[in-house]
């Protein structure tokens, strides 16, 4: 920490600066002020041009005031930080709250405020002072024990303790926190963010950096990262706090269908969060974790259907104002990403919900920056990959149909699934299929034959709306020459996706899981089959009669054609 020796003000060779390290700091005063266009900097002192600038006046008066009160040293940010050194600048910004906190006295210089101002008014010259609109001066108000306000002519206006009532109205900060009777961390994350909602900084990153001390976090300075700095600040806060009021913000300027993460874009989103606080020790909250899939968090969720779309309402551990006694919870509106498992985004950013029944706690992932859910535009290829199938002791696959018009080799297979699929789907059958990017597109058909009685079922796989996996199934008659009529085109006409199947002799389940591999969207498909009945002799005979009437042939001829199948069935039947 570099300090100015106040008694060196009138030395011909200029002010004396001395470097001190933590642990041996002398008693010192500190200046809080707003920066102008032609501020006196450390570089000006090195060049010997500092005293030539008009703004040197406030440095001079600061030193004189400190000297009059018996302080030999003073710290002034513009003059004492060598901003050409990134290491020194980073150290100063990360330590600044502590430096203001350790100062014996803080002089708040209010440029543009006259000596005759009435500082007890919540409107007017004092309240509209630029000092109350800047980001850095927020911590400079909170950190020091004693703050004395001075006018532009360096006349004393009052102390923080004397003006506490009006300062609370102007800033939104509780009086007991201003005067230090309650610790700063007694205010929720949302409340502390609200204090900075309407404050500004010259550089975008500084709106995050100026709040680090208020939340007792540290992070490296990365000028050039823009609004990502505020995102990093919230991530650092979450590493040290499970206060879920950090999610209790609203943005009234975006459409309700905007997709967003759980973290705010700026302190302005907390402008209406001054009264929000978390339930104290309500329960042990599972920790958050930042992953490549987004923020992993467990929240109680229930479906919320408003008639136009189904979203989920997720409760956070904060009581809902203003009726704090009704034991209701604030809640967020979340929409599930149809293309990613357990992936959600926040919607309806302009409002917070309210619930009493919180629902089942679920582990979800929420990416911070998301575009509209468009799997079609994000991924050049959509691939169906068969993963698990029925037991080969119960069902064997006899035919696999795929589109003969699709040229080129099959897509790459996800390595993690090879061992599973080859347990029931043997070569030369392929396990991967390029899926059309349309709803109702037919992808493949698989004919399974039941080992016990040769009952057959064809499972048709394809796409539904929003590129979900759709399926249907058809139970085939016993093996016949008509099988030659089964082609991809025929099955494509029979494909009616609905995720349900009306089967008499088999129970079918089809589950899918989405994954990204080699830049393509994969749908890993598991097929389950279970026998529920057996086709009897009468089914075969009556099936033959029905078909004979439809195609105009004689009943006797159709039964004669079916004779080999009947004999085959009888040979395997328990009735023989």
> Can you give the pLDDT at residue 268?
97
- Across the range 537-559, mean pLDDT stands at 43
Residue 230 contacts residue 266 (beta carbons within 8 Å): yes
* Confidence category of residue 225, pLDDT binned at 50, 70, 90: very high
How does pLDDT run across 292-337, given as a tens digit for each residue?
889 999 999 998 876 556 789 999 999 988 777 788 999 999 998 8
pLDDT at 559 over 50: no
Using DSSP's 3-state secondary structure scheme, residue 87 falls into helix
pLDDT at 549 over 50: no
How does pLDDT run across 230-277, given as a tens digit for each residue?
999 999 999 999 999 999 999 999 888 889 999 999 999 999 999 999
How does pLDDT run across 439-483, given as a tens digit for each residue?
888 999 999 999 988 889 999 999 987 678 999 998 887 665 556
pLDDT at 538 over 70: no
**The tokens of 406 are what?**
């699709």
Bridge partners of residue 469, in order along the sequence: 463
Q: What is the pTM of this model?
A: 0.69
- Across the range 411-426, mean pLDDT stands at 79
How does pLDDT run across 275-284, given as a tens digit for each residue?
999 987 666 7
Of 538, 536, 540, 556, residue with least CA distance to 548: 556
Of 254, 142, 253, residue with least CA distance to 187: 142
Angle between helices 537-551 and 555-572 (to 10 degrees): 160
Cα–Cα distance measured from residue 369 to residue 168, given in angstroms and rounded to the nearest whole number = 35
Cα–Cα distance measured from residue 175 to residue 178, given in angstroms and rounded to the nearest whole number = 5
> Can you give the pLDDT at residue 509?
92
Q: What is the DSSP letter of 260?
A: B
Cα–Cα distance measured from residue 201 to residue 196, given in angstroms and rounded to the nearest whole number = 10
Using DSSP's 3-state secondary structure scheme, residue 419 falls into helix
Residue 4 contacts residue 79 (beta carbons within 8 Å): yes
> Can you give the pLDDT at residue 539?
55
**The tokens of 284 are what?**
């042990």
Using DSSP's 3-state secondary structure scheme, residue 322 falls into coil
Q: C-alpha dihedral over 79, 81, 86, 88, to 10 degrees?
A: 170
φ, ψ of residue 314 to 5 degrees: the values are: -115, 120
> Can you give the pLDDT at residue 556?
43
**The tokens of 100 are what?**
């203001």
> Can you give the pLDDT at residue 373?
54
Of 26-30, 45-49, 253-257, 358-362, the range with the highest mean pLDDT is 26-30
Residue 314 contacts residue 330 (beta carbons within 8 Å): no
Of 349-353, 418-422, 535-539, 553-557, the range with the highest mean pLDDT is 349-353
pLDDT at 112 over 80: yes
> Can you give the pLDDT at residue 576?
30
- Across the range 87-115, mean pLDDT stands at 96
In SS3 terms, 145-214 reads as CCEEEECCCCCEEEECCCCHHHHHHHHCCCHHHHCCCCCHHHCCHHHHHHHCCCCECCCCCHHHHCCCHH
Cα–Cα distance measured from residue 518 to residue 531, given in angstroms and rounded to the nearest whole number = 38
How does pLDDT run across 143-183, given as a tens digit for each residue?
999 999 999 999 999 999 999 999 999 999 999 999 999 99
> Can you give the pLDDT at residue 414?
79
Peptide bond connecting 561 to the previous residue in cis, omega within 30 degrees of 0: no
**The tokens of 557 are what?**
């001829």
Cα–Cα distance measured from residue 226 to residue 231, given in angstroms and rounded to the nearest whole number = 10
What's the whole-number average pLDDT of the chain?
Answer: 86
How does pLDDT run across 341-380, given as a tens digit for each residue?
788 999 999 999 999 888 889 999 999 987 655 554 567 7
- Across the range 3-25, mean pLDDT stands at 88
Point out the least confidently predicted range of 65-69, 401-405, 483-487, 494-498. Answer: 483-487
């Amino acid at each position: 920490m570099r300090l100015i020796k106040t008694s060196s003000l009138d030395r011909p060779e200029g002010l004396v600066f001395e470097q001190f390290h933590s642990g041996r700091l002398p008693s010192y005063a500190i200046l809080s002020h707003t920066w102008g266009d032609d501020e006196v900097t450390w570089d000006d002192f090195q060049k010997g041009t500092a005293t030539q600038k008009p703004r040197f006046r406030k440095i001079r008066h600061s030193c004189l005031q400190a000297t009059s009160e018996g302080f030999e040293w003073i710290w002034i940010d513009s003059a004492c930080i060598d901003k050409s050194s990134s290491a020194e600048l980073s150290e100063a910004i990360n330590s600044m709250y502590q430096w203001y906190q350790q100062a014996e006295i803080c002089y708040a210089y209010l440029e543009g405020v006259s000596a005759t101002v009435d500082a007890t008014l919540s409107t007017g010259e004092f309240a509209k002072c630029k000092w109350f609109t800047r980001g850095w001066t927020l911590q400079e108000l909170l950190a020091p024990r004693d703050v004395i306000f001075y006018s532009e002519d360096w006349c004393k206006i009052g102390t923080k303790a004397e003006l506490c009532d009006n300062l609370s109205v102007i800033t939104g900060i509780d009086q007991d926190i201003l005067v230090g009777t309650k610790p700063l961390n007694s205010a929720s994350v949302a409340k502390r963010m609200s204090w900075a909602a309407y404050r500004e900084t010259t550089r975008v990153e500084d709106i995050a950096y100026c709040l680090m001390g208020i939340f007792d976090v540290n992070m490296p300075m990365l000028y050039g990262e823009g609004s990502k700095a505020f995102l990093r600040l919230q991530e650092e806060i979450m590493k040290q706090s499970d206060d879920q009021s950090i999610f209790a913000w609203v943005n009234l300027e975006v459409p309700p269908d905007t997709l967003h993460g759980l973290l705010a874009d700026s302190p302005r989103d907390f402008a209406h969060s001054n009264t929000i606080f978390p339930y104290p020790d309500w329960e042990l909250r599972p920790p958050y974790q930042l992953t490549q899939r987004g923020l992993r968090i467990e929240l109680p969720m229930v479906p919320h259907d408003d008639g136009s779309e189904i979203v989920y309402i997720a409760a956070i551990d904060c009581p809902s104002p203003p009726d704090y006694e009704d034991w209701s919870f604030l809640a967020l509106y979340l929409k599930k990403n149809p293309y990613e498992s357990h992936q959600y985004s926040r919607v309806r950013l302009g409002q917070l919900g309210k619930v009493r029944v919180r629902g089942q706690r679920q582990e979800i992932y929420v990416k911070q920056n998301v575009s509209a859910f468009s799997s079609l535009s994000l991924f050049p290829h959509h691939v169906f990959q068969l993963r698990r199938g029925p037991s080969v002791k119960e069902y064997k696959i006899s035919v696999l149909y795929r589109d003969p018009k699709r040229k080129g080799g099959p897509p790459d297979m996800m390595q993690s699934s090879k061992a599973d699929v080859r347990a029931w789907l043997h070569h030369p059958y392929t396990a991967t299929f390029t899926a059309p990017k349309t709803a109702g597109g037919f992808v493949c058909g698989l004919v399974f034959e039941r080992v016990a009685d040769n009952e057959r079922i064809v499972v048709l796989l394809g796409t539904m709306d929003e590129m979900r996996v759709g399926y249907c199934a058809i139970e085939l008659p016993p093996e016949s020459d008509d099988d030659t009529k089964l082609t991809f085109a025929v099955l494509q006409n029979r494909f009616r996706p609905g995720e349900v199947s009306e089967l008499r002799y088999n129970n079918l389940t089809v589950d899918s899981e989405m994954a990204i591999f080699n830049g393509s969207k994969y749908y890993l498909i598991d097929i389950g089959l279970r026998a529920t009945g057996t086709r009897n002799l009468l089914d075969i005979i009556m099936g033959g009669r029905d078909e004979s009437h439809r195609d105009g042939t004689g009943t006797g001829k159709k039964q004669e054609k079916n004779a080999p199948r009947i004999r085959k069935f009888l040979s395997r039947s328990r009735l023989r």
